[in-house]
Chain A
Amino acid sequence: MILGASTFVEGVDNAFMLILGISFFFLIGITLTIILFIYRYNEKRNPKATPVKDSVTLEVTWTVIPIILVLGMFYYGYVGWIPMKRPPSEGVMVTANARMWSFNFRYENGRVSDKLYVPKDTAVIVNLNALDVLHSFYIPAFRIKEDMVPGLANNRSWFEATKVGSYTIFCAEYCGLQHSYMLSEVVVMEQEDFWNWYNDPDAMVEEIPEDANLALLGRQLVQAKGCVACHSLDGSNLVGPSFAGRFGETITVITGGQEREIEYNEEYITRSIYEPDADISVGFRPGQMLSYEGEITEQEIELIVEFMKSLSEE
């Protein structure tokens, strides 16, 4: 099996081994029997068939034995699975929000991250939310998967990681155009490292050094937040208009059913991020982009604006 890094791995892999083991046994056994029969009883070797009477004993045997075996498989499957359904009451609480086509994770102290940072050997309880359509929270290394259903409250998953490292999070439920790019990472840290990260006051109010390249930070931001799934940086239109070559232009939008001209400036960008459906760029559909109110700060918007400016200057 593939690499495993959570407490569920053992139970799940045992079930895999049992089922795959029995399956291989039967597959190989029956296949060899067929080959043997083809060799032994082909027309040339055995020109005359011998009638065989049905045997009730035999038929009962090959009904009962598989029943016993599948009951065993059912049991192992159940045992490996039941802990996933019983999250402990104590642990690190995280809310995972999925939207087309990115994840973000919000911790109890208000810290928000695009990657899921977790401590080793500690239960992590993840509340699963979807903002638009179905997504699925899948971490192969932890053997967990649970759909993220819009409108479904109290849908949770949990795990306890056993190895430090980072592992891919996939969206496993088809969710449209960029489904295959809806990936993130879970980063398992030593407990001490995690709590340092968690309580790091600097992380909350990100201090931007004076000599920082703001446009570069903006670029990293739109990539981390998943904006680039819908907005290209090269001028081509995806689900939404490209970020390139727009800043400073006068564009046409539809506001409340009326077309109007508007300048593409900081104010417009801010409104587009917090209330995407207020002005709809001509040629695009409302309802695709969801508001980032509470997820992207005004300070971060400034970085995005710097970045867009730089795209127009090139």
Chain B
Amino acid sequence: MSESTTSSKHVSFLEYKGKYKGLLGWIFSTDHKRVGLLYLYTMLVFFSIAATLGLLMKLQMLAPGHTLMGPQTYNAMFTVHGIIMIFVIVVPGLPAVFGNFFLPLMIGAKDVAFPRLNLASWWIYVIGILVVLSSQFIGGWPDTGWTFYAPYSFQTPVNIVPALVGATIMGFSSILTGINFIVTIHRMRAPGMTWFKMPLFPWTLYATAWIQVLATPVIGITLLLTLMERLLGVGIFDPRLGGDPILYQHLFWIYSHPAVYIMILPGMGVISEIIPVFSRKSIYGYKAIVLSSLAIAFVGYFVWGHHMFTSGMSGRALYAFSFLTFLVAIPSAIKVFNWVSTMHKGSLLLQTPFYWAVSFIFVFMIGGLTGLVLGSLATNVHVHDTYFVVAHFHFIVFGGTGYSFMAAIHYWFPKMFGRMYDRSWANIGWVTFFAGFLSLYTPMFVLGLQGMPRRYYDYLPEFHAWHIFSTLGSILMIAGAAIVIINLVRSSRHGQKTSEKNPWGGKTLEWQADTPPTLENWEEVPTVTQKPYEYK
């Protein structure tokens, strides 16, 4: 359905009337910006649910023993929290929201290459979510952890089939978005935008899209094999039927490790956009950032074994995996150096997006450096499957994706909604969140070093003090998140109106489009003559 027929040129994408009105005009719109916002709203809802589950778990951990809920409830909670956070929020995350919205704008295109496929991806995604949620009504919430490890996933009394089917369906959505972005980037760049004149966020989307297309099928296959085994009794992973449970872990992590880069690469892209703009300086080492993104995407395929150092697989394989894991740390380190150097001699605009970006660098460093502890064999054995890992991946995944998401939305908000948020509330929200985040997750490193295993509903009294600290942090963090979200939601309707095209003084193309952008973004597609971030 082509909506452009009825829309006049200067009506913003938020307001134009297509074939359908109201809500239908959104859920059937193929406009990349509306699709992006559909993802944003869906994620907002599910993030709130999963974060609430997280808070309830932290409250249960406030004291040892049965305080708030029983073990079955707790186990189901960490499973559902994990499934929603991973499959519904962070994997689609930045590409689905900001990639959809800004990729075409940043490369000077009118839409993505396949707008209908793009809308279909959102529908598939929603259907996947609904299937997962249906488990509540057919056999109870899954309790296997989001990893669905065999053979427990075959023996648990609850029905994990809906969760597996739902996750597989969401995988298709991810693959389709990936294909769409790859084609868009190859075919639809504005005249003059050669590969190395392309901004960095599109570059990271490009690297990510390849991982989505190449790695996601593996998880699809794995989950389907699990279904075959659970429903038809074909012995693949369950030793009772002659299967091999370690094979399951290999297949699972062959996808899920690269998936970590699906989560983090676009975040790095966002930070690489924001730092130069708020430093009024060209990004330091543009090519190094591009190449390191591609290197991460590539080497990231070969390190999955670091999730399995204690799984019982052969020793020789282990040190190869450990070695490669250390190598994959290098490109990330390079990026940090580049960001910091970009600030050097800049003229730093101290605004909310910049605060989020800088705190991203901080939590990302902690996440990355503790990753070295996990990559090294001797230390991994001690902290594997403990709270240390929980802390590490919340720093990387939640810190990485979450902070860059927040940075991105505070950066692009005026462009997206044609309104400005309340800046002081935004800053208060950031400080609260940041303080809460650190006090929530830092104690978990200590707990892990002390030997507290993860996925424990109850714990020995010696771990109590740090758990209290962590729970208090979680309350603070949720308060911070609430301030940020309420401020944004309110401002998207009542914030100060603005039609200023370029409030931050950015140099990339999206800042040349109308605020908010019109249906097809440009009256005339811009021509690119210089590199991105050319500050004189």
Instruction: Show the binding face of A for B, using Cβ within 8 Å.
Output: 1-2, 8, 11-12, 15-16, 19-20, 23, 26-27, 30-31, 33-34, 37-38, 41-43, 46-52, 54, 58-59, 62-63, 66-67, 70-71, 73-74, 76-81, 84-85, 132-134, 136, 138, 140-141, 143-147, 149-152, 155, 168, 170-181, 183, 285, 287-288
Contact = CB atoms under 8 A, between A and B. Distances in A.
A15 B312 contact: no
Interface in B273-300: 279-282, 284-286, 288
Interface string B441-456: 0000000011101111
A2 B388 CA distance: 14
A54 B284 contact: yes
Interface string B372-392: 110111111110111000000
Contacts of A20: 373
A284 to B, nearest CB: 10
Interface stretch (B224-232, B363-371, B467-475): B363-371
A16 to B, nearest CB: 5
A234 to B, nearest CB: 13
B312 A41 contact: no
Given A37-B344, A66-B333, A78 B378 contact: yes
A59 B329 CA distance: 16
Given A47-B347, A49-B346, A34 B323 contact: no
A79 B322 CA distance: 12
Interface residues of B, number: 83
Contacts of A168: 451, 460
Given A38-B358, A74-B322, A285-B157, A49 B151 contact: no
Nearest to B372: A19
A180 B459 contact: yes
13 contacts: A19-B372, A27-B365, A30-B365, A46-B345, A51-B282, A74-B326, A133-B152, A134-B245, A140-B382, A150-B245, A172-B385, A172-B453, A179-B75
Given A176-B152, A179-B457, A170 B340 contact: no
A204 to B, nearest CB: 32
Nearest to A135: B152
B330 interface: yes
A254 B151 CA distance: 25
Contacts of B535: 49, 51
Contacts of B450: 2, 140
A66 B246 CA distance: 33
A145 B378 CA distance: 10
Contacts of B340: 30, 33-34, 37
Given A49-B347, A81-B377, A149 B458 contact: no
B458 A49 contact: no
Contacts of B382: 12, 16, 140, 143, 145
B345 A16 contact: no
B466 to A, nearest CB: 12
B22 interface: no
Contact of A70 (B144, B327, B358): B327
A12 B379 contact: yes
Nearest to A25: B369
Nearest to A1: B449
Given A71-B326, A74-B322, A133-B155, A84 B381 contact: yes
B152 A134 contact: yes
Interface in B227-280: 239-240, 244-246, 279-280
Q: Taking each of A8, A77, A134, which has the highest tally of chain B beta carbons within 10 Å of its own beta carbon?
A: A77
Contact of A16 (B75, B143, B326, B373): B373
Contacts of A134: 149, 151-152, 245
B362 interface: yes
A180 B323 contact: no
Nearest to B385: A172
B319 interface: yes
A63 B372 contact: no
B385 A173 contact: yes
B69 interface: no
B536 interface: yes
A41 B156 CA distance: 58
Contacts of A34: 340, 343, 358, 361-362
Contacts of B346: 37, 41, 46, 49
B218 interface: no
B354 to A, nearest CB: 9
A3 to B, nearest CB: 9
